[in-house]
């Protein structure tokens, strides 16, 4: 299945007809948790080594040649600047791993719909989908910042880049609140998965690493009026399906250029 045989009216009807159930959502969570069980905390290793071992269960980790970017996630690969201090790399890996785990909620359901264990076409569609609209992009980033902040010391929280993104994309945080609440809700589920393995011992090791590295402190906090709101399980699955349908329709019947997905698909196939 390539992208041209994927973006069809017949497949749109399959997506519309297939119910995304709370049961399958919980199945995705269980699958992510089962993968995490392959990792075991090692007190003889550094916190960075432990975080790398955990993250590598889900995605490939690679030092980046792009030293102008401290890290990024692309084609199921996490890239990081290995010249940074350990605590900075830990933050980067957790942030980028969060992007990967978020994408799994969409890819796993689509693979379920089309009975595919693996599909670079579906991976490519989701990669484009999460960057296609400004709201999707911001929700993805917001989720990653929430998760990285959960595992790093409060005094080192730095939201400057995220605030700049909101300004750059001219995001109205009130009008876009559904995306932020959705991101908060999914972030909580991902944190519950990671908390099974990023235990108090590893969290303490991470805090000590930050102290050792003597990074600058920012003491920044990010607050929205609705930050305590969460969607129910039923609402989460409904919104997830709606997001997929919206982007699928954009490429099938709207102004979307399928070649955008094809370009990403070629890169996935190289991996």
Over residues 222-238, the pLDDT tens digits come to 999 999 999 999 999 99
The pLDDT value recorded for residue 127 is: 96
How sure is the predictor about 98, in pLDDT bands with cuts at 50, 70 and 90?
very high
The pLDDT value recorded for residue 52 is: 98
CA distance 103 to 125: 10
Burial label, 43 (beta-carbon count in 10 A; 0-12, 13-18, 19+): exposed
Q: Using the predicted structure, report yes or no on whether residue 242 has a pLDDT greater than 80.
A: yes
Q: Using the predicted structure, report yes or no on whether residue 99 has a pLDDT greater than 90.
A: yes
Over residues 112-162, the pLDDT tens digits come to 999 999 999 999 999 999 998 899 999 999 999 999 999 999 999 999 999
Task: Give the residue extent of every domain in the chain.
Answer: 3-270
How sure is the predictor about 268, in pLDDT bands with cuts at 50, 70 and 90?
confident
Q: What is the mean pLDDT of residues 63-91?
A: 91
Q: Using the predicted structure, report yes or no on whether residue 219 has a pLDDT greater than 90.
A: no
Of 50, 48, 91, the residue nearest 71 (C-alpha): 91
Encoded tokens for 153:
């010391």
Q: Using the predicted structure, report yes or no on whether residue 85 has a pLDDT greater than 80.
A: yes
């Amino acid at each position: 299945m390539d992208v041209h045989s994927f973006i069809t009216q017949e497949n749109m009807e399959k997506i519309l007809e297939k119910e995304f159930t709370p049961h399958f959502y919980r199945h995705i969570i269980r699958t992510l948790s089962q993968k995490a069980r392959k990792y075991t905390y090692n007190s003889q290793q550094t916190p960075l080594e432990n975080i790398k071992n955990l993250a590598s269960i889900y995605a490939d980790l690679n030092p980046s040649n792009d030293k102008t970017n401290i890290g990024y996630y692309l084609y199921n690969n996490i890239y990081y600047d290995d010249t940074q201090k350990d605590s900075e790399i830990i933050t980067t890996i957790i942030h980028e791993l969060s992007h990967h785990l978020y994408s799994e909620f969409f890819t796993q359901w689509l693979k379920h719909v089309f009975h595919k264990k693996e599909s670079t076409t579906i991976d490519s569609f989701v990669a484009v989908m999460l960057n296609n609209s400004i709201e999707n992009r911001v929700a993805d980033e917001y989720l990653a910042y929430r998760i990285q902040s959960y595992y790093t010391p409060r005094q080192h929280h730095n939201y400057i880049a995220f605030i700049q993104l909101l300004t750059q994309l001219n995001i109205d945080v009130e009008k876009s609140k559904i995306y932020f609440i959705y991101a908060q809700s999914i972030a909580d589920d991902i944190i519950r998965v990671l908390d099974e393995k990023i235990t108090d011992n590893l969290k303490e090791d991470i805090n000590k690493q930050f102290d050792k590295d003597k990074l600058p402190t920012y003491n920044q906090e990010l607050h929205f009026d609705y930050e305590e709101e969460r969607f129910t399980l039923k609402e989460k699955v409904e919104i997830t399906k709606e997001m997929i349908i919206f982007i699928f329709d954009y490429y099938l019947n709207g102004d979307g250029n399928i070649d955008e997905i094809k370009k990403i698909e070629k890169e996935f196939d190289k991996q």
